[in-house]
Chains A and B, each alone.
Chain A
Amino acid sequence: MIKAWLVVKELLRGARITSRHFFVNMTFHTLRLFGVKTKRRGAVTIQYPEVRKELSPRHRSLHRIRPRDDGKPSCVACMLCVTVCPSECLYVEAAEDPDPEVQKRPASFVVDLNRCCFCGFCVEACPVDAIRMDTGEIRLAARGRADLRIPLDKP
């Protein structure tokens, strides 16, 4: 008898919790529907394509090559990023730069997002701070594998 009462009590407690959530959330939904500003929202959902959550400042997204003042890529084709890359997804071809101060430039700088694991080692390794992963572009879907080989030296 006592056990049965305990069971019923717990059942009612559960129903109280869920219905409290329901009514509190419904109150906030209704208030917002009628244009009343409330501090709380009825739901924690972020409706993704329309509303974006702000990315953390230390996030890692699609790579970019920081340009020099004259607009050319600041990469000096030292190949350190290619060496450190654990997924071997960077393809850099070096070429001679007309500027004697720079000596080398990338003739092509391709990142293969099929392979990239977004570890950020290339960013750490770069001696001239040329490659960065701060574009904020996280929607990296493509129709085919070829579309995921992204040339970075073209602006």
Chain B
Amino acid sequence: MLADTLIVLVKVVLALTWTLLLALFLTWVERKESAVMQDRIGANRASVFGIRLFGLFQPFADAIKMLFKEDFTPAFSQRVLHWLAPALSFFFVAVSIVAVPFGNPVRLFGRTIPLQVADLNAAVLFVLAMLSLGIYGILISGWASSNRFALIGSLRGAAQLISYEVGLGLSLVGLVMVFPSLSLSRIVDFQGGLLFGAIPKWGVVIQPLGFAVFFLAGMAGTKRVPFDMPEGESEIIGFYTEYGGLKFGLFMFTDFLEVIVFAALATTLFFGGWQVPWLLDGGFSFPWGGGPALPSWAVTVLRVLSFNLKVLFFCWLQVLTRWTYPRFRYDQVMDLGWKVLVPLGALNVLATGLVLAVR
């Protein structure tokens, strides 16, 4: 009993550290990647004792800056709610990482430990619910600020997120029909199989349309630039107009956390999670026959590595998208959500159902 509690505690701490560290350095990745895309160098001045290391200390410098800023609450705002909003939006995003499997279950000291904080049997629903609950942070922040622009931003945010929840949910229905489970670990297990005995049975291979809808809806869910209606840096300042210092930092951090959670979800649901193509528990087994055998620890390391690489790739892709495309207008966002993604998601469900029925 004590050992179980300890294991869960260690897993929680590890998962949280992984997520927060990744989010911290994603701020650096975002600055550097955008710079490299635009033929610039990017933040490289932050140094510790003269060691610059490509500006890798920049996130810490930013954090120290945020810490020392004034924790300002406007006079007409509602203090408790004003404080609660960033905490809520941070919490709901951070908690959704518990459902993501980081690797295959390992055997340690006679126990089987799944590399996943909580193996929920309705993990897909849990993650969707938590990402939807994040709306409360935005809504409350807009309301508590008692600022017109913040309120407009938060209402826009609520409208956008609720609209795209529909598309996001529909895009996953097809996937759940193919891999008949709502548990993320089961879905990843199913994706270890092979299609026609050769192609890895990843979600994106079976559900390409579903992935397209999922990716667009998820990008909108992170509310970063092509879909930055709630923030709208260039028109209204958005729901964190009245926030400064650490509270604003928490909002910004939540954005990066959302990017990571979305990347982890896309990896888990559509790109095989921790599966490495043709890697079985005993080692590689290529479709053309043969393949080296590997000890189980090497297999686990490869799988955890593969999960991390896929997540990093999706983070990279999202930053690329954010710095490539101009932002939508509000009505265009709504059009894309309701007139394109929802019908496409429904079509995907229909098509999947037909294929499953005929087969």
Contact = CB atoms under 8 A, between A and B. Distances in A.
A87 to B, nearest CB: 36
Nearest to B212: A8
Interface string A1-18: 000100000010011011
B70 interface: no
Given A11-B325, A14-B325, A22-B33, A44 B39 contact: yes
Interface residues of A, number: 17
Interface stretch (B20-28, B57-65, B71-79, B316-324): B316-324
Nearest to B324: A18
The main secondary structure of chain A at its interface with chain B is: helix
B39 A18 contact: no
A29 B40 contact: no
Contacts of B37: 18-19, 21-22, 25
A26 interface: yes
B320 A43 contact: no
A15 B41 contact: no
Contacts of B33: 22
A45 B40 contact: yes
B38 A21 contact: yes
A47 interface: yes
B14 interface: no
A120 interface: no
Contacts of B340: 4
A21 B39 contact: yes
A42 interface: yes
B324 A15 contact: yes
Contacts of A44: 39-40
B35 interface: yes
Contacts of A17: 324
Contacts of A42: 36, 39, 41
Contact of A19 (B35, B38, B320): B320
A45 B38 CA distance: 10
Nearest to A8: B212
B321 A15 contact: yes
5 contacts: A4-B340, A19-B37, A22-B37, A25-B39, A42-B36
Given A4-B340, A21-B39, 13 more contacts: A15-B324, A17-B324, A18-B323, A21-B36, A22-B37, A22-B320, A25-B37, A26-B36, A43-B35, A43-B39, A43-B40, A44-B39, A47-B41
